[in-house]
Structure 1
Amino acid sequence: MHPMLHDIRLVAFDLDGTLIDSVPDLAAAVDAMLGDHGLAPVGEAKVRDWVGNGSRKLVERALAFALERVPDASALDAAHERFLAHYHAAPCERTRVFPGVREALEALHAQGLILTLITNKPKAFIDPILEALSLRTFFAMTLGGDSLPEKKPHPAPLLHLAAHFDVDPARCLMVGDSRHDVEAGKRAGFRTLAVPYGYNHGEPVSRSDPDALVESLRELV
């Protein structure tokens, strides 16, 4: 095993940008939402830099770009509702598992580690996506951005998992692709490990100073 896993009992994974490349489906839903409002599509490249803070923030960033101003609350509410409808209709048509992820999850699960998932994506989308990609059975618990009052980078979701499974945070590892994952892990007292291929608002995740960085999750086993 990777040295970062020494004495670790629980591993918390981020989803989008860490385990799966979901931007193609997210971008399709964003562009459809913009089309509903008579606005031009923004495409995958823009959306790739905007994800990571939950669906409402994604929609806010897309609207602000398209309108060239910050949308008011009522416009954002309406746009977010349309985005959720489009994404719910096709959450996993072009989403793919990153190379090395399945092998890592299989090996860690076989070794008896408690595998969990903490994403800022709405909870309702998690199981359908995991089921479609045959990943659901690996996780003992999953938390979405609306599962608790706080979401990453707040440490509350991580501490919730540690407490639920009665594991000291010092024996937990947060694995993610963004500064929000690293910050949440550090604030919760978890070890932090990052991957560089995901979504981090256009900046290298190494700048967030994770405890370790791997090019592929395959390196964990």
Structure 2
Amino acid sequence: MRNFDLILFDLDGTLLDTMKLITTSYQITIKHFTGKTVEAAHISKLVGTSIHNILSHFAVEPTAETIGFYKKTSAARHDDMVLIYPGVAETLQLLKEKQVRIGLVTSKIKDLAAMGLALFSLEPFFDVLVCMEDTTQHKPDPEPVLEACRRLDVQDLSRVLMVGDSPFDIRCAKRAGAKTAVVTWSDFSPEELAAEEPDYTIASLQELIELCGV
């Protein structure tokens, strides 16, 4: 028996290994506009929230200029620095074959998210894409998950599973009323993730298939 009507995935740190690209791009952007050097570890703790939140945290006003600089910095390095986690394409293919609806819910800028999906030919698997520009509020607010469900006319949030790698994914989904699964290949510590009390913890995407009951 199928356990969920909709599976929502985060992108960065869940499907694609982008942490090095993201922290490097923010370091360059912050240095350019403030002259300050920020350690990657300080940035990584905020990855999963919006660019507006991260830039503001490091005293960079999120304007068209600063966001545009970040986008160009990231895009120039993207294909050389982004990796896909093992089993991602195969898992999405299997879910699609089993007619499970799949969505992407990310705080990432739409153009940059599209680059990652295109690099590994993942976009055709998704029934809905919710990126930064699609909502006024971002993770950990529930609006991104609620927007994905609204677009697919999913009414019962208890049959929606959000798969992510950060506390922000878990909080977003919980506040929306969805179930949560956190991946163990996260850059966040097991203690940080356990403190959010996710419904499930998965060590492989094969475990996700079993969890979904397909």
Deviation, 1:150, is: 1.7
Unaligned runs of 5+ in 1: 65-70
Unaligned runs of 5+ in 2: 210-214
Which of 209, 212, 216 does residue 197 from structure 2 map onto?
209
122 and 201 in structure 1: CA distance in 2 versus 1, 3 angstrom threshold: farther
Once the two structures are superposed, the pairs formed by residues 107-186 of structure 1 within 5 Å of their partners are 107-167=94-154, 168-186=156-174
Superposition RMSD in Å: 2.4
- The normalised TM-score by structure 1 is 0.82
| Separation in 2, partners of 1:103, 1:44 | 31
Segments ≥4 residues shifted beyond 4 Å: none
User: Is the CA contact 1:51–1:201 (under 8 Å) kept in the aligned structure 2?
Assistant: no
Q: Percent identity?
A: 28
The corresponding residue for 1:17 is: 13
User: Is the CA contact 1:186–1:192 (under 8 Å) kept in the aligned structure 2?
Assistant: yes
Mean Cα deviation higher: 201-210 or 34-43: 34-43
The corresponding residue for 2:212 is: none
Size of the aligned set, in residue pairs, is: 207
26 and 6 in structure 1: CA distance in 2 versus 1, 3 angstrom threshold: same
- The normalised TM-score by structure 2 is 0.85
| Separation in 1, partners of 2:138, 2:5 | 22
User: Is the CA contact 2:173–2:180 (under 8 Å) kept in the aligned structure 1?
Assistant: yes
55 and 216 in structure 1: CA distance in 2 versus 1, 3 angstrom threshold: same
Deviation, 1:90, is: 3.0
**Structure 2 counterpart SS, 1:146:** helix
Deviation, 1:139, is: 0.7
User: Is the CA contact 2:92–2:125 (under 8 Å) kept in the aligned structure 1?
Assistant: yes
